[in-house]
Amino acid sequence: MPGAYAEFLGGNMAMKRILGALCAATVLSSAAFAEGYPERTITMVVPFAAGGPTDTVARLVAEKMSTDLGQQIVVENVGGAGGTLGAGNVAKAEADGYTILLHHIGMATSATLYRNLPYDPLGFEYVGLVTEVPMVMVARKDFPAADFPAFVEYVKGNADKVTMANAGIGAASHLCGMLFQSAIDTQFVTVPYKGTGPAMTDLLGGQVDFMCDQTTNTTQQITGGTIKAYAATTPERLAIFPDLPTVAEGGLPQMEVSIWHGIYAPHGTPAEATGRLSTALQFALADPGVTKAMADLGTAPSPAADATPAALKTKLETEIARWKPVIEAAGVYAD
Amino acid sequence: MSAKPTDTTDAAAGVFLILVAVFFGWQTTGLETGTSLRMGPGYFPMVLSALLLIMGVLVLVKSFKGQGERIGRIAWRGLIFILPAPIFFGLTVRGLGFVPSLFVTTLIASQASVRMKPLPALVLAVLVTVLSTLVFSYALGLPFRRFGPWLPF
Amino acid sequence: MDLLSNLALGFSVASSFENLFFCLIGVLLGTLIGVLPGIGATATIAMLLPITFQLEPVSSLIMLAGIYYGAQYGGSTTAILINMPGESSSAVTAIDGYQMARKGRAGIALATAAIGSFFAGTVSTFLVAIFAPPLTIIALKFGAAEYFSLMVLGLVMSIALAHGSILKALAMVVLGLLLGMVGTDVYTGTPRFIMGVREFSDGLNFVALAVGVFGIAEILRNLEDEHDREMVTNQVGSLWPRREDFRAMIGPILRGTGIGSILGILPGGGAILAAFASYTLEKKVSKNPKEFGHGAIAGVAGPESANNAGAQTSFIPLLTLGIPANPVMALMIGAMIIQGIVPGPNVATDQPRLFWGIIASMWIGNLMLVVLNLPLIGLWVKLLKVPYYILFPIIMAMCSIGVYSVSSNTFDLYAVAFFGLLGYAMTKLRFEPAPLLLGFVLGPLLEENLRRAMILSRGDPSTFVSRPISLTLLLMSLGVLVLVFLPAIRKSRDEVFIESEG
C-alpha cells in the first residue's frame, strides 16, 4: 500500500519522499515473500539509549529469538524524544519484516503526550507483548508513614510539604505519579529529573520524599534497605516482595499500572513475517534463562497467549484510551 | 574614539555576538518565564540572551580602541568540500548504505586540498572504505546496512 | 585487615588468565577506538557494549572498564595530535597538548598524559578501595542547591581557560550555555530552540559540537594558506620528557589527582569539572601563566591526571549505590543487568568477587595502558609525518562514522557541519572554543539544578546560602573572582579585559 505508506512521511524533506517512494517500490516488488523468511539479519530498533532498562529487555529477548529464527537480530539504539524518534524511523522503514521495533508503554502515552507525532501510533503491525514490568511506590528511608494507607493519608495531609520525584516527562515514574495524583485527588509538588539515576540519588539522599518507579530500578535499593517500599502497582503481590501489599489492597485499585513492552513492525509488513516473529518471541519468553534474568529485575515474561499480534493490538488500544484523560487532566505535553 | 573601528576582527566579533543574542532572544519570546518557584522554560535563556547582548555591545565598543590581527584569508575551498562531507554521509548512509556512502564522503572531503590529485584520492577513499567496513561493520558488528535500499542489489 | 583480604581477593580474581586477557582486550580496543578522531569513551562503549554480552559477568565488566579508561587514553592522544577531543575532559587537554604538538613536543605531551594518568589511576584506585563507602555519604549530601553552587564555581573558573580577552571568553561561556539549552525542557516538556527538528529534542550531541568547533575548525584553518607555504607538517622533536619536564609535571599531577578524585565521586556532573578545575588551578599557581594556551606542560599534566582520577572515582557511586555518575556508567549498569547482576547498595557484600575484582582490574588496566602506550608514542608521533592532505579526509570519514554511531541520528552529522562552520567563524573572530564547550556541558546542569533547588525550597533563594556545602562553594567562587579580577583592577582601565594578548 504505497499510498498509505506515504502518509507516514511526515518529514518535509524531498529526500525523505524519494526514499519513501523507493522503499514502497521495493515492498511491492517483493511479493513472493513468506517461504524463506528470515533470510538475513533483522534489525530491532530500540528507541532508547543502549544500556537502559528497555534496551536490556530487548537484548534479552533478541538473543533467544535469533536462536529460534536461525538469523541474527541486531539491536539498534535510536534514542531521543521519549522514544518517538526510533518509532518514527521504524514507521518509515521498509515493511519487509527485517526492521522491527521494541517499545514500551510510551507507544501508548506518546499518542497523547506528543501533539504532532510524525507517525500514527496505531499504524503499526503487531508482533506481541514481551513483558509487563511492575512498579513500586517508594520513599526515602526515614519517611514517617508506616504503611501504604498511612502514606496516602500523610501525603494528603501534607500536600504543601511533600515532594515527588520523577525521571522526566513521559517516563514511567512520571506516568505513575500522574495516576497517583489523580487517584488521591491531591496536588503536590513534583520534581522532574533527567532520568532515573539522578532522581534515585536524591531519593537516597533524602532530598525528595517519594517516587513510583519500575522494579527494574527499585528492587536492589529496597532489598538494600536504602529506601522504603509502600505498595506494588500490580493486581497480585510481587514474587520478590511477598510482604509488600498491592495498591488495590491499600484502597487505590485505579493506580494499577505496569510498564509493558511490545514488538511492532512497520505498516504493511506481511502477516507471515509478524506471525513468524511472534512464534520466535514465544520461544524466547519460554526460555528459562530469560525468565531468570527477568525475575532478577522483578518482572516476568508475558505468557504465550499475550505474545501474539492480537493481544498487543488490544493492549495498545486500551492503553491509549486509558492514558488520554489522565494526561489531558494533568495538562502536560512533551512538545 | 574614531568613527571607524580600529580592530576590525573584534568589531565583527561584537556584531556576531549581537546577532546570536538577538536570534536566541527572539526564539525565547514564545517561552514562558514562570515564577521563582516554578521557573519557566524561558527564564534562563532570556537572562542568557540579555547577557550575551550586553557582551556583544561591549566587544563592539572596545573594537573602536584596541588594535588586533586582521581576519585574514578564508579557506573557501576547505569550507566548500569539508562541510558537505558529513552532510552527504548523513543524507545517504541509510539509503545508499554504509559502504558507498563512506566512499563518496571521503572522496568529497579529500577535494578540500589542492594537493590531492584524483588518483591518490580514489586510492585513499577505497582504502578508508575497505578498512572502516572491516573494522566497524564486520569486527565491531555495528548495525549499519552495508548496501542500502536505494541500490538495485 | 579486611581491606587487605578484600584486595587480595580482588587481585586473585583480576589476575586469572582469563580476566587478564579480557582486561588487555578491553584496554586495547578502547585505546584503538578512542584514538579515532571524534570518538570518545561514551561512543566507544556504546559501540562495543554488545561484544561483552557473551562473556562471564566479571570478565565482561573488567573488559568494559578497560574499554572505558582505554578510550580515555586514546581520546587524549587524538586531542593532542590533531586537536580533536571526543569527550569534554580531553577538550582541556587539547588546549595545551595540541600546541605542544605543533611545537614538535607531541611525544613529550603524550608521555606526560600517560604518566599523569597512570599515577592518578593508581592513587584513585586505592581511594576507591579504601574509602568507597564513606565517600558515598558525601555524594548523597549533594542536593540541587549544592550542584548549582558547584556549577557556578565551575563557570567562574572557566575564565581561566581564556588566553586572550576575558570578555570574549565569557561571551563564549554564555553562548555555550545557550547551546546547552537546545532541546526539551526537563520541567515542562517545552521544546526550546530546536527549529522544528524533532531530532534535536534531546539536545545537541556533545561529540558533534566538540568535533565541529575544535577539529573541523582546525582542519579548515590548516587549509587556509595551502598556496603559500607547506602544509602544517608538524615537526617531530624529542619523544621523551627531559629532567626539567619531569620537574614541571610533578606538581600538576599531584594536584590534578586530588581534584579529580574528589570531583569524580559526585554523580551528575562532578567529573566533568575535574579537568577544567585542574587547568584553572595550574594556571593560577604557575609562575608564568602566559605559557598556558601555548603549550604548557602543566596544562596537559594536571587536567589529564584529574580526568583519569575522576574517571576512577566515578565508579564509587556506581559500585556503592548502583547509580550511574555519567553516561558511560549508565551503560555499565545496563551491561550488569544483562549479566543478571542488578547493581545496587548490596553489590559489595553479595558479589565480593565482582566488586573487588573490578577494583583490582582498574589498577591492572592502568598498568597495561601505560606499558602499552609509552612504546606506542613513537608510532603516534610518526602519524604526524603523514601529509596533512591525506590525514584530514581520513579524519572526516572517522568523525562521520563516530558521530553517527552514537545514536544513529543523521541530524548529528548535519550538526557537525554546522558547528564546523561556527567553529571556523569563531577562530577567525578570535574566540576560543574551550569556554564554549564548558558552558555547553554545564548549562543544562546549572539551569536544571537552579530550578530544582527553587522548587524544593518553595521559591526561597536563601537555600543557596543556608546549606553549608552550597555556601562554601559560593564563597569559593567569590574567592576565585577576586583572585582573577584583583590584578586586573590594578592595571590601567584599558587593559581590564585583556589578559596576556598573544
Residue C408 backbone zone (phi > 0: left; psi -120 to 50: alpha; other: beta): left
All 3 cell numbers of residue C195? 527549529
Per-domain residue ranges for chain C?
2-236+247-495
CA distance C369 to chain B (A): 21
Chain A, residues 114-173, CB within 8 A of chain C, namely 118, 163, 168-170
> Does the interface predicted TM-score (ipTM) exceed 0.85?
yes
Binary contact (A77, C268; C-beta < 8 A): no
Q: How many helices (H) and strands (E) does chain C have?
A: 22, 2
Nearest CA-CA partner of C328 in C118, C66, C74: C66
The length of chain B, given as a count of residues = 153
Rounded alpha-carbon distances, angstroms, from residue C135 to A206, C78, C261, C315: 17, 33, 10, 11
Contact A231, A210 (CB under 8 A): no
pLDDT exceeds 60 at position C230? no
- Nearest to C10, CA basis, from C253, C332, C365: C365
| H-helix or E-strand spanning residue C192 | strand C191-192
Domain pair A2-15+37-132+259-330 / A134-255, same fold: yes
B147–chain A Cβ distance below 8 A for any pair: no
- The CATH number of A134-255 is 3.40.190.10
Q: Place C499 in a pLDDT band, splitting at 50, 70 and 90.
A: very low
Q: Nearest residue of B to residue A43 by CA position?
A: B143
C-chain CB neighbours of B65 within 8 Å are: 494
Burial of B4: CB neighbours in 10 Å, binned 0-12, 13-18, 19+: exposed
Cβ of A169 and C189 within 8 Å? yes
Q: Provide CB contacts within 8 A for B124, sequence distance 6+.
A: B106, B110, B116, C390, C393, C394
Tally of residues, chain A: 335
Give me the amino acid identity at C490: R
Strands A227-232 and A125-140: antiparallel
Q: Which residue has the cell 575564565?
A: C159
To the nearest whole Å, the CA of C407 is away from the closest chain A CA by 5
Whole-number average pLDDT of chain C: 83
Task: Find out whether A314 and A126 touch, Cβ atoms under 8 Å.
Answer: no
The predicted-structure confidence for C50-93, as pLDDT tens digits, reads as follows 777 777 888 888 888 888 888 888 888 888 988 888 777 788 89
Residue carrying C-alpha cell 537546545: C182
Q: How far is CA A131 from CA A109, A242, A255, C339, C386, in A?
A: 17, 20, 19, 18, 54
**C460 to chain B: nearest residue by CA?**
B37
Q: What local confidence, expressed as pLDDT, does residue C350 receive?
A: 76
Residues 28-67 of B with CB under 8 A from A: none
Shortest CB distance from B75 goes to which of C220, C400, C416?
A: C220
Residues of B in contact with C224 (CB under 8 A): 72-75, 78
Same domain, B82 and B131: yes
What's the grid cell of residue C250? 610533578
Contacts of C338 in chain A (CB under 8 A): 56, 59-60, 293
Contact C338 A221 (CB under 8 A): no
Interval B119-128 mean pLDDT: 94
Give the pLDDT of residue C491. 56
Give the residue with greater pLDDT, C223 vs B125. Answer: B125
Cα–Cα dist C216/C424, whole Å: 8
**Could you tell me the sign of the dihedral formed by the alpha carbons of C324, A195, C277, C27, in that order?**
positive
- Cross-chain Cβ contact C393/B109 below 8 Å: yes
A partners (3+ CB pairs within 8 A) are B, C
Check whether A1 has a pLDDT greater than 50.
no
Q: What's the average model confidence in pLDDT over C308-313?
A: 87
Task: Render pLDDT for C359-385 as a digit per residue (tens, 0 to 9).
Answer: 888 889 999 988 888 888 888 888 778
What distance in Å separates residue C165's CA from the closest CA in chain B? 10
Q: Is residue B120 part of a domain?
A: yes
Of all residues in chain C, the one with the smallest CA distance to A295 is C340
C-alpha cell at C450: 537552579
- Predicted local distance difference test score (pLDDT) of residue C368: 92
Q: Identify whether the C-beta of residue C146 lies closer than 8 Å to the C-beta of residue C264.
A: no
The one-letter code for the residue type at C159 is: I
Q: Please, which residues bridge with residue A101 across strands?
A: A45, A264
**Cut 0.80: pTM above it:** yes
Q: List alpha helices for B29-83, DSSP H.
A: 43-62, 76-82
Distances from the Cα of A196 to the Cαs of A37, A258, B147, C110, in angstroms? 39, 16, 38, 38
C345–A226 C-beta distance less than 8 A: yes
Q: Is B145 within a domain?
A: no
CA quadruple C127, C129, C133, C135: dihedral, nearest 10:
10
Residues in B touching A15 (Cβ below 8 Å): 91, 95
- Is residue B71 in a domain? no
Residue C340's region, left for phi above 0, alpha for psi from -120 to 50, else beta, is left
Same domain, B56 and B84: no
Note whether B31 contacts C: Cβ–Cβ < 8 A.
yes
Rounded to whole angstroms, how far apart are CA atoms C451 and C232?
48
Residues of chain B positioned with their CB less than 8 A from the CB of A74: 141, 143
A78/C407 Cβ within 8 A = yes
pLDDT at position C488, please?
60
Mean of all residue pLDDT scores within chain A: 85
State the smallest CA–CA distance between residue A301 and chain B in angstroms.
26
Contact across the interface for C404 and B93, Cβ inside 8 Å:
yes
Whether chain A has a CB inside 8 Å of the CB on B150: the answer is yes
Contacts of C12 (CB under 8 A, 6+ apart): none
Which of the two residues, C273 and A320, has the higher pLDDT score? A320
A76 CB near a chain B CB, below 8 Å? yes
Q: How many CB pairs under 8 A join B and C?
A: 208
Is the Cβ pair C450, B62 closer than 8 Å?
no
What digits encode the pLDDT tens for the residues C199-225?
888 888 888 888 889 889 989 988 887
CB-based contacts of C92, cutoff 8 Å, min separation 6: C161, C275, C276, C278, C279, C299, C303, C307, C434
In this structure, how many other beta carbons lie within 10 angstroms of the beta carbon of residue C175? 27
Model pLDDT, residue C479: 87
Give me the residue from C168, C225, C387 closest to B73, CB to CB: C225
Q: In whole angstroms, what separates CA C346 from the centre of its chain?
A: 29
With a cut of 70, say whether residue A6 has pLDDT above it: no
Q: How far apart are CA A330 and CA A179, in angstroms?
A: 9
- What digits encode the pLDDT tens for the residues B58-102? 999 988 887 777 778 888 999 999 999 999 999 999 889 999 999
Q: Which three cell numbers stand for residue B145?
A: 546496512
Distances from the Cα of C194 to the Cαs of C190, C200, C202, C418, in angstroms? 10, 6, 9, 14
Mutate to test the interface with B, among A15, A19, A63 (most CBs of B within 10 A): A19
Three-state SS annotation for C461-498: CCHHHHCHHHHHHHHHHHHHHHHHHHHHHHCCHHHCCE
Using the Cβ of B60 and the Cβ atoms of chain C, whether some distance falls under 8 Å is answered with: no
Counting as contact any 3 or more CB pairs under 8 A, the partners of B are A, C
Cross-chain residue pair A51–C330, CB shorter than 8 Å: yes
Residues of C in contact with A293 (CB under 8 A): 338, 340
**Above 80 in pLDDT, residue C336?**
no
Residue of A nearest to C138 (CA): A205
Domain A2-15+37-132+259-330 listed as CATH 3.40.190.150: yes
- Residues from chain A that touch C53, judged by Cβ atoms under 8 A, are 59, 63
Q: What is the CB neighbour count within 10 angstroms for residue A74?
A: 16
- Strand A210-214 and strand A189-192: the pairing is unpaired
Q: To the nearest whole angstrom, how far is the Cα of B143 from the nearest Cα of chain C? A: 9
The Cβ of residue C479 has, within 10 Å, a number of other Cβ atoms equal to 12
In a domain, B149, yes or no: no
The amino acid at C99: Q
Nearest-CB residue to A297 (from C140, C142, C337): C337
pLDDT by residue (tens digit) across C119-149? 999 998 888 888 877 777 777 888 899 989 9
CA-to-CA distance for A313 and A219, rounded, in angstroms? 30
Domain end (from B21, B39, B62): B62
- Residue B82's domain comprises 76-139
C-alpha neighbours within 13 Å on the C-beta side of residue C350: 13
Which residues in chain B (108-137) have CB-CB distances under 8 A to chain C? 109-110, 112-116, 120-121, 124-125, 128, 132, 136
Residue appearing with cell numbers 484502597: A251
Query: Which of A15, A74, A94 has its CB closest to that of B91?
Result: A15
Q: Three-state SS string across chain A, please?
A: CHHHHHHCCCCCCHHHHHHHHHHHHHHHHCCCCHHHCCCCCEEEEECCCCCCHHHHHHHHHHHHHHHHHCCCEEEEECCCHHHHHHHHHHHHCCCCCCEEEEECCHHHHHHHHCCCCCCCCCCCEEEEEEEEEEEEEEEECCCCCCCHHHHHHHHHHCCCCCEEEECCCCCHHHHHHHHHHHHHCCCCEEEECCCHHHHHHHHHCCCCCEEEEEHHHHHHHHHCCCEEEEEECCCCCCCCCCCCCECCCCCCHHHCCEEEEEEEECCCCCHHHHHHHHHHHHHHHCCHHHHHHHHHCCCCECCCCCCCHHHHHHHHHHHHHHHHHHHHHHCCCCC
Contact across the interface for B149 and A23, Cβ inside 8 Å:
yes
Stretch among A195-199, C39-43, C487-491 having the lowest mean pLDDT: C487-491
| Contacts A229 to C, Cβ<8 Å | none
Q: How many CB pairs under 8 A join A and B?
A: 17
Name chain C contacts of B31, Cβ cutoff 8 Å: 190, 192
Compute the distance between CA of residue A248 and CA of residue A211 in angstroms, rounded to an integer. Answer: 18
Question: Would you give the distance in Å from CA B54 to the centre of its chain?
Answer: 25
How do residues B3-54 score in pLDDT, each as one tens digit? 677 788 899 999 999 999 999 999 888 888 887 777 888 888 999 999 999 9
Q: Choose the closest CB to A94 out of B141, B143, B149.
A: B149
Contact residues on chain B for C171, CB-CB shorter than 8 A: 17, 52, 55-56, 59
User: Residue C183: in which H helix or E strand, if any?
Assistant: strand C183-184
Domain count, chain B: 2
Is 90 exceeded by the pLDDT of residue A156? yes
Kindly state the helix (H) or strand (E) to which residue C184 belongs, with its residue range: strand C183-184
Domain ranges, ordered by start, for chain A: 2-15+37-132+259-330, 134-255
Which residues of chain B have a CB within 8 Å of the CB of A333?
A: none
Burial C328-342 (b: 16+ CB within 10 A, else e): bbbbbbbbbbbbebb
Q: Could you tell me if B94 lies within 8 Å of chain A, comparing CB atoms?
A: yes
Q: Is there a contact between B95 and A76 if contact means CB atoms under 8 Å apart?
A: no
Q: Which three cell numbers stand for residue C240?
A: 621523551
DSSP string, C248-295: HHHHHHHHHHHHHHHHHHSTTTHHHHHHHHHHHHHHHH-S-GGGTTS-
Length of chain C: 502
Check: CB of residue A167 under 8 Å from CB of residue A174. yes
Q: In whole angstroms, what is the distance from residue C306 CA to residue B55 CA?
A: 32
Amino acid, single-letter form, for residue C107: G
Q: Of A140, A144, A135, A151, which is closest to residue A230 (Cα–Cα)?
A: A151
A189 and C CB contact within 8 Å: yes
Q: Which of B77, B105, B125 sits opposite C400 (nearest CB)?
A: B105
Helix (H) or strand (E) holding C191: strand C191-192
Does residue C359 or residue A32 have the better pLDDT?
C359
